[in-house]
Structure 1
Amino acid sequence: MARLAASEHDTSSGSSSSDSNGSYNAVSFLLDRNIEQGRGNKLAYTDTVSELTYGELQRQTRKLANLLRRLSVRREERVAMIMLDTIDFPIVFLGALRAGVVPVPLNTLLTAEQYAYVLADCRARVLFVSEALYPVVKDIVGRMPDLEHVVVSGNNAFGHKKLSEELARESDSFATVATHADEPAFWLYSSGSTGSPKGVRHLHANLEATASTYAKQVLGIREDDVCLSAAKLFFAYGLGNALTFPLSVGATTVLNPERPTPALMFKLMNKYNPTIFYGVPTLFAAMLHDDSLKDERCGSRLRVCTSAGEALPESVGNAWRARFNVDILDGVGSTELLHIFLSNAPGDIKYGSSGRPVPGYKVRLVNEAGEDVADGEVGEMLVHAPSAGEGYWNQRHKSRSTFEGYWTRTGDKYIRDAEGRYTFCGRSDDMFKVSGIWVSPFEVESALITHPAVLEAAVVPEADPEGLLKPKAFIVLRADAARDRLDEVLKEHVKQKIGAWKYPRWIEVVESLPKTATGKIQRFKLRERAS
């Protein structure tokens, strides 16, 4: 690959750059700018089977835009994507943006009825689906009233349109639609960990906002980086990791269409030698604790790792650093805010903490009365963000309770120390008081997993015989864990770590913990079980 100068494009304020007519299309910033700066022959993507240069990606997105026009999909109408992480994903996503059409990437792990709900909710005109995932939706596509076309990525189109054949019919000449920075660009559905998924409407400007803040000023992504993300592209976190950030500087990305197991991640790292690895806490822990992989390494060029989805336990961060000599930048993001807004940074890492606000973002912690709390006090986090969505689709009440003017209510409880670092305490509906003092489920869980017998832990409140709430722990044990006097040992371990009143009064051993597809523990299911 030719060595090319890094981009001089600077939007550190988080605002987007429009042309002289006031129009702005995110695909111009993410893709076309790379061609203008001479990266047409540089590798943009590999999915372990196929490769795509920046020039070919541009041509294919133009063909995709022409395909949407031929299918009579109009500006701002939606197309759904149930697609694995292959090179076809960025072609469809960016091609839709180019046409002014709104792509809606969907979780690839949903059930048929969950897809039916979301497809009906977003009123998608076209469904792009990977061949391997089509059997899940084959019985519902015929009853979606707004769905007119199904386009399959793969060899077998099941009687529908085949993406490769449809693109081959199209011209690679297309005048990018002159959208506006504040125009809807794409939707992402929330994980639905506490109810039905909500469609978050994001704007064309939001993608560049995350690139110019977190990617540029915290991650320090460069043109010579090779990126590997365990989080999939349909997640807000994965979309930034594997699309927005690398494209913003002309970097190269390795896509993984398979489940991100520890063994596969090590295999990809050793094959492609990435410089940036984006993971999640459960994966980092699994990679560290799998005895069959204890001698595996992460490649010779790895310079930084990131973590999001849930708070990274201090023990995991320290163990990763000790084994691989690479830091994990633990951060906090959300579907509503598109990517990470609070993070540790190179040279400023405190494991167990979520770090400080990303440049360009402002953060407040407030009590139940909406008043700012002092350092050392627990409060709900509100964020002033350049990348915030404009609201939920068809859910006005929830939009009003989440998007409050310039501020977005996260639903997370945090505590801020005197140095301005924030530490996660739990979701607002997960927190509870013991003897009048707030207890953070995450703090108890973090103490539990520092014991060598415990692999994973989740803590919820349960009422004692007097009706008072106390912590109850659900734990997953390591394979070689000794169970003799385990309850007593773990209770004493927590007391010594974080305080006598916080220890779990009950401990239940389970085979696994309920989680969302993003790896977040679904504590509401455990609360129901406990009650």
Structure 2
Amino acid sequence: MYNASYKFFQKNIEADRGDKTAIYYENRSYTYQEIDTLGNQFGAALKELGTEMEQRVLLILHDSPEFIISFFGAIKVGAIPIPTNTLLPTKDYEYFLNNSRAKVLVTTCEQWDKLNIIKNRLLFLRHVILVDGENQDLMEENEHSFQDITRRQSKELPPCYSNINDQAFWLYTSGSTGEPKGVIHLQTDMEEAYKNYAKNILQITEKDITFSASKLFFAYGLGNAMYFPFGAGATTVLMPDRPTAEKVFETIERYRPSIFFGVPTLYGSMLNYIEKTKNTYDLSSIRLCVSAGEALPASYIEQWKKTFGLDIIDGIGSTESLHIYLSNQENEIRQGSTGKIVPGYEAKIVDEHGQETQVNEVGDLLIKGESIAASYWNLNVENKKKFIGDWLMTGDKYFKDEDGFFWYAGRIDDMMKVNGIWVSPIEIENALLSHPDVLETAVIALKDENDLIKPKAYIVLKASADPDEGRKEEIKGFVKKVLAPYKYPRVIEFVNELPKTTTGKIQRFKLREPEIK
């Protein structure tokens, strides 16, 4: 028998951590005992509503204690929680609810007000639990106040009879290349990711306080802010607000975390905020800064170290792998590299024929490890393409150097051939970001009048730089000195912002669509 709720909930009670702070949230703190009890009561409430094993429970919740309570309370009774992004349009939630066939939705009154208009199109939904619903008497029959429905339940709840092969939770991919895919994770996947990355790389202990600017509804944030600290008996800081540079700095100073998790675009905006405002912040409590989501520019690492005296360890993971599988380490950082394979995973880079590449040769990255998802929900063709035996096809281009460090070369669809030679947009972007006037950039392939491919750069300048033609020529000349001359961007377009996912990843495909017909 195995149930993930034991590893991350009850085990802390048995280890005499019941009175220890598990969560800092706004003006309150919550102990492990409080969270465990509320999780039991929420699980019992689901059972009262008739929720059975393997039935899905969709969560549209900000980072909050209710998120964690709902997530683990559902797992304890064998239901399958599905965290979803809180920033999406109504049509996306309609898709999630119908695609997953979720019978229960846990959300806020604000979100439900938007969905209630289309409730007749929600084919499988039976119950809505509102975390901020206060008056049960004013609700419809299938609407329930989170507080009312949980407080009347028993504080004790035995886990369901599940094992290591049972589903525990789903996560939906971002859908940047089509409809979002439901990624099925099993009961042991969180423990495996915790052991591999949190223990081996972060060396997390119960003394740590974690703070993740990446939200719980993302695979990256789910580990950072929930099952990593809970696995170690540590403390997590939950921030429901949008992670602006100012808000993140304020939260760090207030709660004094020892491990901070961000994404490259956030680190860039935080550095830019400091440069622009000349404000100073105390980050002395932090022992580790972590980045993931996409490749971290070497220039950000240098500026962060110069400004705060802290290194950033960069890594890469995915929704399918649950968390990071390639990473730099605290005392082994190679700027611009994604690092080495995280112990507990295997990786290989293959060419178009499936043969492993030579050192410094770009190919497709495949990984293997126990935290990798079982499959996608209801997508037979995609499963065959992505899950190849024990290996996961990541969709990323990489090469590995002589010392075993992995270097990101872009997504498979992002690579471009210039003068007959494959060129990585990431390499050009990193060169551009080392220019003192460049804040953010994205490089795509542009067809010229002869249908030949040339690099084009979209650039967000720092506030102090003028977006004139002379600046464009100066930046082109700068790149020619840093890289092989054929790699320089033939066209530069200054923009106010770049299209991004809610995780902060730059959406190059949105820039690419109008350029190549």
- TM-score bucket (shorter structure): over 0.9
1:215 to 187, 198, 205: 198
2:476 to 475, 491, 501: 491
Deviates more, 1:396-405 or 1:139-148: 139-148
**Residues 392-431 of structure 1: CA distance to partner in whole angstroms, max 9, x if unpaired?**
1111111110011110000000111000000111000101
**Structure 2: distance between partners of 1:135 and 1:313:** 41
**Structure 1: distance between partners of 2:116 and 2:282:** 39
Name 1:111's counterpart in structure 2.
Answer: 89
- Corresponding position: 1:162 with 2:140: no
The code of the aligned residue for 1:168 comes to: R
Name 1:16's counterpart in structure 2.
Answer: none
Q: 1:454 to 1:292 in 2, by over 3 A?
A: closer
**Structure 2: distance between partners of 1:225 and 1:251:** 5
Q: Runs of 5+ in structure 1 lacking a partner?
A: 1-22
Report the identity percentage: 44
Name 1:518's counterpart in structure 2.
Answer: 503
Name 1:202's counterpart in structure 2.
Answer: 185
Cα offset, 1:324, TM superposition: 1.2
- Corresponding position: 1:333 with 2:311: no
**Structure 2: distance between partners of 1:327 and 1:294:** 21
Name 1:66's counterpart in structure 2.
Answer: 44
**Structure 2: distance between partners of 1:454 and 1:530:** 22
Residue pairs, 1:346-361, within 5 angstroms:
346-361=330-345
- Corresponding position: 1:400 with 2:378: no
**Structure 1: distance between partners of 2:278 and 2:155:** 48
1:323 to 294, 299, 307: 307
2:204 is paired with a residue whose SS is coil
TM-score by length of 1: 0.94
**Structure 2: distance between partners of 1:84 and 1:326:** 29
Name 1:4's counterpart in structure 2.
Answer: none
**Structure 1: distance between partners of 2:427 and 2:110:** 40
2:414 is paired with a residue whose SS is coil
Name 1:475's counterpart in structure 2.
Answer: 459
Name 2:69's counterpart in structure 1.
Answer: 91
CA contact (8 A) 2:461 2:467 kept: no
Q: Runs of 5+ in structure 2 lacking a partner?
A: none
The code of the aligned residue for 1:181 comes to: I
Name 1:76's counterpart in structure 2.
Answer: 54
**Structure 1: distance between partners of 2:467 and 2:53:** 61
- Corresponding position: 1:422 with 2:406: yes
**Residues 150-182 of structure 1: CA distance to partner in whole angstroms, max 9, x if unpaired?**
111114578331111111111111111121111
1:267 is paired with a residue whose SS is helix
1:507 to 460, 479, 492: 492
**Structure 2: distance between partners of 1:84 and 1:173:** 26
**Structure 2: distance between partners of 1:365 and 1:452:** 34
2:247 to 243, 264, 272: 264
Name 2:426's counterpart in structure 1.
Answer: 442
Deviates more, 1:303-312 or 1:505-514: 505-514
**Residues 173-214 of structure 1: CA distance to partner in whole angstroms, max 9, x if unpaired?**
111112111110000000111111100000011000011110
Name 1:26's counterpart in structure 2.
Answer: 4
- Corresponding position: 1:251 with 2:234: yes
CA contact (8 A) 1:131 1:156 kept: no
**Structure 1: distance between partners of 2:71 and 2:15:** 22
The code of the aligned residue for 1:255 comes to: L
Cα offset, 1:391, TM superposition: 0.7
TM-score by length of 2: 0.97
The code of the aligned residue for 1:79 comes to: V
Name 1:279's counterpart in structure 2.
Answer: 262
Q: 1:186 to 1:437 in 2, by over 3 A?
A: same
The code of the aligned residue for 1:172 comes to: K
CA contact (8 A) 1:181 1:203 kept: yes
CA contact (8 A) 2:108 2:133 kept: no
Cα offset, 1:243, TM superposition: 0.8
Name 2:514's counterpart in structure 1.
Answer: 529
**Structure 1: distance between partners of 2:278 and 2:77:** 48
2:198 is paired with a residue whose SS is helix
Name 1:17's counterpart in structure 2.
Answer: none
The code of the aligned residue for 1:461 comes to: A
Cα offset, 1:445, TM superposition: 1.0
1:219 is paired with a residue whose SS is coil
Name 1:185's counterpart in structure 2.
Answer: 168
**Residues 361-413 of structure 1: CA distance to partner in whole angstroms, max 9, x if unpaired?**
01000111111000110011000111000111111111110011110000000
Cα offset, 1:298, TM superposition: 4.2
Name 1:296's counterpart in structure 2.
Answer: 280
CA contact (8 A) 1:229 1:238 kept: yes
1:218 is paired with a residue whose SS is coil
1:140 to 108, 118, 127: 118
Size of the aligned set, in residue pairs, is 509
CA contact (8 A) 1:29 1:248 kept: yes
- Corresponding position: 1:345 with 2:329: yes
- Corresponding position: 1:56 with 2:34: yes
The code of the aligned residue for 1:529 comes to: P
Name 1:152's counterpart in structure 2.
Answer: 130
Cα offset, 1:455, TM superposition: 1.1
Deviates more, 1:326-335 or 1:125-134: 125-134
1:508 is paired with a residue whose SS is strand
1:181 is paired with a residue whose SS is coil
The code of the aligned residue for 2:338 comes to: S
1:59 is paired with a residue whose SS is helix
